[in-house]
Amino acid sequence: MARKKPAEDHENLERWLVSYADFMTLLFATFVVLYALAQSDVNSFKNIEEALKKAFSQSIFSDNTNIMEGQDSILDGNQGAMNPLMLEYMSTKYEQSSYEDIKDEIEKLKEDGLSAEIDDRGLVIRLNSHAIQFAAGGADLSKKSYDILNAVAKIIKEKFSIHYIQVEGHTDSDPISNPKYPSNWELSSARASRVVRYLINSQGFNPKLFIATGLADTVPVVANTTAQNKAKNRRVEIIILRNKNKNLSKKDMQEIIKEVQIDQKKAKIQKQPSKAIEGLIGNDKELLQNVIDLTDQYENENKRLDSLDKNDYMHDGIKPEFMEQNNDKK
């Protein structure tokens, strides 16, 4: 009797389905996380952060190579927290929540001539002629205006570092004509640019974030019928544009994000106290923070003084003593 021929081994041609299914599952999970980043509120980001860290710490390769190795992560590896720049850039819920928080802070300064509203463009911070004071027919700022701008800049920087900011200058309907500003168009543009220049030079904002524009008297908030109404129309508006409007400009937002990250790292390094100061202060963290804060205030004041024109030092046509002394030395 002939022996039965053994069955041939069947080659499994569908092994690729296992790897394919794993890949599709990971891809699906990635898009779910990205969708959650765009839709969930700020309070949910701690849970999302943990999910991201677990997902990206696992390997889809047999040699346990990390899929994020060699790449810039959206997570801050040192702090173990979501990078706030990406949070600001990706989440519309964070954006809206921050708008509302800033609006509440601005409303506390209402007596100083500030107001805020949220519209389709973004958050509009309005500084009337009481809050921001220019020389008549000019674009030179008063000392009080610097104090107001410092307060506004501090509030904005707590929430936004990479949002486009449009600064608009507005005038009343009274015509102007002088050698420097032939019309309200030039005047309103100069005033907007003056505010932008101060925020960049003194408050450390990235120059690429700003758009300066002058609208003359074409967008009044009230009719230019009385002196009080004209004072309301003489204003500057600082508009923090929504991220959905980022394509209004040809500026490269990815490049801006990188520059802001570099600036933040430099600032962090500069704020590290020297070993000598740590030796003197010891473990008194509150005193150490006071030293850092005073240093920051000193640097900001130096930047502000450097940004002033010579005429800004004048008071009733008289130079201060330190300017007279410097002239005598020369």
218-253 pLDDT tens trace: 999 999 999 999 999 999 999 999 988 766 666 666
Average pLDDT over residues 70-84: 44
Q: Quick check: helix, strand or coil at residue 75?
A: strand
User: Cβ atoms within 10 A of the Cβ of 300, count?
Assistant: 15
Average pLDDT over residues 124-145: 92
Average pLDDT over residues 64-70: 40
Question: What are the extents of the domains in the chain?
Answer: 102-248, 253-308
Tokens of 41: 């509120």
173-204 per-position pLDDT tens digit: 999 988 899 999 999 999 999 999 999 998 88
- Answering whether pTM is above 0.85, one says no
Average pLDDT over residues 258-278: 63
Q: Which helix (H) or strand (E) holds 212?
A: strand 210-214
Burial (0-12, 13-18, 19+ Cβ within 10 Å), 183? middle
Give me the CATH topology for the region 102-248. Answer: 60s Ribosomal Protein L30; Chain: A; (3.30.1330)
Tokens of 116: 């805020």
User: What distance in Å separates the CA atoms of residue 176 and residue 188, rounded to the nearest whole number?
Assistant: 11
24-53 per-position pLDDT tens digit: 888 888 888 777 666 655 555 555 555 555
Higher per-residue pLDDT: 310 or 101: 101
Q: Quick check: helix, strand or coil at residue 326?
A: helix
**Lowest-pLDDT choice from 65-74, 114-123, 262-271:** 65-74
